[in-house]
Structure 1
Amino acid sequence: MLGGNNRNRTRKRRFGTGVVCAAVAVLALVSAPAAADGLPDLRPEQWGLVSIGAPEVWALTQGLSTTVALPGVTVPEDHPDLVDNVSVDTEFGANDGDFDEGTALAALVASHGHGRDAEGGVLGVAPEARLLVLPTDDALPDAVRRAVDEGVQIVLLPDVSVIAEPPAQNGATATDGNGANGADVDGLGAATEAATEAGVLVVGPAGGDDPNVLSVAGVDADGALIPGSPAPDAIELTAPGADLSASAPDGGEAQVTGARYAAAMVAGAAALLSSEYPQLDGDRLRQVLVDGSQEGPNGLPTLHVPTANGLAAGVAEENPLIDQDLLDRADEGPRVPVWAWFVSVGAVLVLGVLLAVVWVRRSTADPYGVREERQQEEETIAAERGAERAEEPARPGRRGGRRRKPRGR
């Protein structure tokens, strides 16, 4: 199950109050007027959410029942913007050190904010999605595999540039400045391939050449690619990635820029679609995110959640959760051949005759000997009566007959 167990030294938190916080935060973001209690809305403006149209689909889905894995980063579990949405698996590394990048990535994906006070927190693209954080320094491939085994729907890689590096010789690891914490190059490529084969969508910043990863580049508020973006042929999708409002580890606000943060926006959008249409696997999610985009810089596709959601609805109809053919067969009922009906009727008749015979035999049987005992009693009584008659004395009869009168003389 998601979150692992004590053997894996995994810590889990229940998702409870996050739904309420998310609902309040959504209202705070999309409504310009002041709150009913007269307090001003001090939540920062998040141009990225508005640009991709995320609030437009929050009435349908906010990412519930979907999990995004963040391997290779550290995130504070008790962060007010993320509490109850985060589970941390420390099997491959301790959840300590620099929390800046991981906290910003997690917040852009699934932050639910923390109220309407002076800070207010920020909102992620999918405020009700779950996050599985897997910190690691040198076991990124293993962390990706663990995430897949735990049943996540999306994996967000912090940096895929390591995949573009040539494989190290003699089993060495890549440890240069572009490497993702010295992860094994060959192992990471194999891990992403296994993830896609398992139906998981893998998202990462553009710059690598792994075909299993949806490569995302960042754009600014004017729609232009951010500095340092790779060539257009290495970009599959663009998303807001400059001056984004994210959460800082201390509970405050941070402004972040980079392709990895644009990838986090895409991962959050994928969580929304996966929550609403769970029958869509990673390949189909990737298809609808790209095909359901709008034209961006240099003709590149740019993320637009409402359009992708409409396209996902059509794809989901073609891939229902329930096999309609099986359902129709169940409605039609079983097809029984004619000879089977005759055999069934004959069996019922034979059974009925057998039951009748058994009933007759049981009704005429004398299992307790009552009839035989009664017959013996009657025979005894008859014998006694016969003996009594034999013992009775014969009644004496009259001697002679009537005396005749003499005839007249």
Structure 2
Amino acid sequence: MHTRTPGTSVALGSCAAIGGLGLLGLLAPPVLADTAQQDLRAEQWSLEAIGAAEAWERTEGAGVTVAVLNTGVDDTHPDLSDKVEIGGDYTGQDLAPGDEYYGANGTMLAGIIAANGHGQEHTGGIMGVAPAAEILSVRVTPEADDPAAGAATARADAVAQGVRHAVNQGVQVIALPAGDGGPASEAEQQAISYAVRHGVVVVAPGGDGGSTEPEYPGGYEGVLAVGAVDETRQLAATSSRQENIAVTAPGAAVPTIAAGGGYTEADGTAAAAAFAAGTAALVRAEFPQLRPQQVTEAIVSGAQSVGGAQGQPGHGAGLLNAPGALAAAEGVAEDVPPFDPDLAEDDGGLPIPAWTLWAGGGVLVLALLVAGVLVLRRQMANPYGLPPREEVPVPESEAPRRGAHRAARSRK
């Protein structure tokens, strides 16, 4: 993912006040006092593009945790107040919020997914796709401009470990980082399969190389790969043209939060994947009984066609649409009985929810009880186990005839 102002924060509140010129990318430090009551949502064309406001009439993602596997998340940003849990750092750097080279990219993605503004009634700042969702920050990659990045990326298993850690923490959605152009990793594929088996929706950037070849992690099986479009809803020039890209989402000049408390813009398929991760959180919040494949199918089914480009490599089913995804998920959920999320928290690696095993076990126990009652009744009818009596046929001449005695008495 790229920012339009690397290493700096854009004071969006000030931009909005200058003749409505929009996001100018001013190289100025953020001033929270100036933006505390600014409503920056008017600048968020990306939320309008995916129909977020309409989706919020049904759910804002409460009860769902999204794991952001990236460079870390600044949990002190006012638009993420009290909703970020800091997980492990698998890069080997052991950095924390506030450290240099910590959280620039990860914070931007977290803002797209779940920022909930600040100030009176949350009218200031940025809103994410699922503003009521929680964030688990898992650091698996260093910042691109970190001089120690080379040594950190030597830990090839960082993403795989981060995925397993997030699953074990009970998240419902995982947003993977952009790839480095390397080959597929068996360890990463196994970790993703582990996540899907345990009911976690996995979303990844489709890739920013403009290539038609699979790029990882978006190319792994079980991952919802997302391409990027600009404000005109056209495919971004650098967005990959892969066959496995399922949908597109805003990924150019996307307003979001910045580490350190300010605001900035994000570009790339990582930003687009964050919109899909937020939408997955909305679906999981409204329909917790759906399995990961059903959630991703609902997102794909609910996508909107843009200029008839759907189905073409890199476009997938079309532009991500949050209310469309919820509507499609509702149709699927009608045939899936609700269940206690606590029972489905750990499916033991099985491809079916744990509640189905409980239901099946109950039916089996009932059948065994009925069979036991029938056997007991038969035993009580013949407690000594004697063989059944054989009916000996009686000759017709010896068989008693109805009314014979009455006829004899009449003759007397």
Shorter-chain-normalised TM-score: which range? 0.5 to 0.7
- TM-superposed CA distance for 1:266, in Å, is 0.4
How much does 1:142 deviate? 0.5
Alignment: residue pair count? 289
Aligned to 1:72: 70
Query: Alpha-carbon deviation of 1:309?
Result: 0.6
Note the residue ranges of structure 1 that are not aligned, 5 or more in a row.
Answer: 1-38, 168-184, 345-409
User: CA shift at 1:278, angstroms?
Assistant: 0.5
Post-superposition Cα deviations, 1:302-337, rounded to whole Å, max 9, x if no partner, equal 11111111110111121112469779979x998584
Deviation at 1:339, TM superposition (A): 7.6
Percent identity reads 34
Partner of 1:18: none
Q: 1:90 to 1:327 in 2, by over 3 A?
A: closer
Does residue 163 of structure 2 align to residue 160 of structure 1?
no
In the TM superposition, what whole-angstrom CA distance separates every residue of 1:346-394 from its partner, at most 9, and x where no partner exists?
xxxxxxxxxxxxxxxxxxxxxxxxxxxxxxxxxxxxxxxxxxxxxxxxx
Deviation at 1:221, TM superposition (A): 1.6
Query: Could you tell me which residue of structure 1 aligns to residue 196 of structure 2?
Result: 196
Query: How much has 1:232 moved relative to structure 2?
Result: 4.8
User: Partner amino acid for 2:95?
Assistant: A
Aligned pairs for 1:392-403 within 5 A: none
Give the deviation of 1:116 after TM superposition. 5.3
Q: Which has the larger radius of gyration?
A: 1
Deviates more, 1:285-294 or 1:40-49: 40-49
What amino acid is the match of 1:59? Answer: E
Give distance in 1, aligned partners of 2:122 and 2:284: 34
Distance 1:114 1:308, change over 3 A: same
Equivalent in the alignment of 1:239: 249
Which of the residues 82, 89, 113 maps onto 1:109?
113
Q: Give the conservation status (yes or no) of the 8 Å contact 2:116–2:122.
A: no
- 1:115 deviation in Å? 1.9
Q: What is the DSSP-based 3-state SS (H/G/I as helix, E as strand, rest coil) of the residue aligned with 1:166? A: coil
Could you tell me which residue of structure 2 aligns to residue 149 of structure 1?
A: 168
Q: CA separation in 2, counterparts of 1:131 and 1:118? A: 18
Are residues 278 and 152 of structure 1, via their aligned partners in 2, closer, same or farther at CA, if it must alter by over 3 Å? same
Which amino acid is the alignment partner of residue 64 of structure 1?
A
Q: After TM superposition, list the pairs within 5 Å mapping 1:345-384 onto structure 2.
A: none
Q: Decide whether the 8 Å contact of 2:177 with 2:204 is kept in 1.
A: yes
Instruction: Provide the C-alpha distance between the structure 1 equivalents of 2:194 and 2:223, rounded to a whole number of angstroms.
Output: 12
C-alpha change, 1:100 and 1:295, in structure 2 (3 Å) is same
**Worse overlay, 238-247 or 94-103:** 94-103
**In 2, distance between residues paired with 1:256 and 1:72?**
14
More helix by percentage: 1
Contact 1:69 1:133 in 2 (8 A): yes
Could you say which residue in structure 1 is the equivalent of 2:148?
Answer: none
Q: Distance in 2 between matches of 1:328 and 1:211?
A: 34
The equivalent residue for 1:87 is 85
Mapped contact 1:241–1:261 kept (Cα < 8 A): yes
The residue number in structure 1 matching 2:331 is 314
Cα separation, 1, equivalents of 2:326 and 2:131: 17
Q: Amino acid of the residue matched to residue 304 of structure 1?
A: N
Report the CA distance shift for 1:118/1:86 in structure 2 as closer, same or farther (over 3 A). closer
The 1:159/1:315 distance shift into structure 2, 3 A limit, reads same
Shift in alpha-carbon separation, 1:339–1:259, aligned structure 2, 3 A: closer
Deviation beyond 4 Å, 4+ runs, structure 1: 116-119, 322-330, 332-344
Instruction: Name the residue aligned to 1:60.
Output: 58
In the alignment, structure 1 residue 211 sits paired with structure 2 residue 211: no
In structure 2, the residue matched to 1:36 is none
Q: What is the aligned partner in structure 1 of residue 292 from structure 2?
A: 282
Deviations 1:82-138 (A, max 9, x none): 121100013533224242211110000000111259992100000111111011343
Counterpart of 1:253 in structure 2: which amino acid? Y
- How does 1:262-281 map onto structure 2 within 5 Å? 262-281=272-291
Distance 1:234 1:111, change over 3 A: same
Measure how far apart 1:187 and its partner are. Answer: 2.1
- Work out whether residues 41 and 127 of structure 2, in 8 Å CA contact, stay in contact via their aligned partners in 1: no
Which runs of 5 or more structure 2 residues have no equivalent in the other structure? 1-35, 141-151, 208-214, 340-355, 381-412
Residues 1:135 and 2:135 aligned together: no
- CA deviation digits over 1:245-278, x for unaligned, max 9? 1011232221111110010000000000001100
SS of match in other structure, 1:63: coil
8 Å contact kept, 1:81–1:111: yes
Q: 1:325 to 1:126 in 2, by over 3 A?
A: same
Structure 1 residues 244 and 125: alpha-carbon distance in aligned structure 2, compared to 1, 3 A threshold: same
Alpha carbons of structure 1 residues 117 and 335: separation in structure 2 relative to 1, 3 Å:
closer
SS at match of 2:330: helix
Q: How does 1:16-27 map to 2 (within 5 A)?
A: none
Aligned-partner Cα distance in 2 for 1:233–1:193 = 20
- Cα distance in 1 for partners of 2:275, 2:293 equals 18
CA positional deviation for 1:296:
2.7
Q: 2:265 matched to which residue of 1?
A: 255
RMSD: 3.2
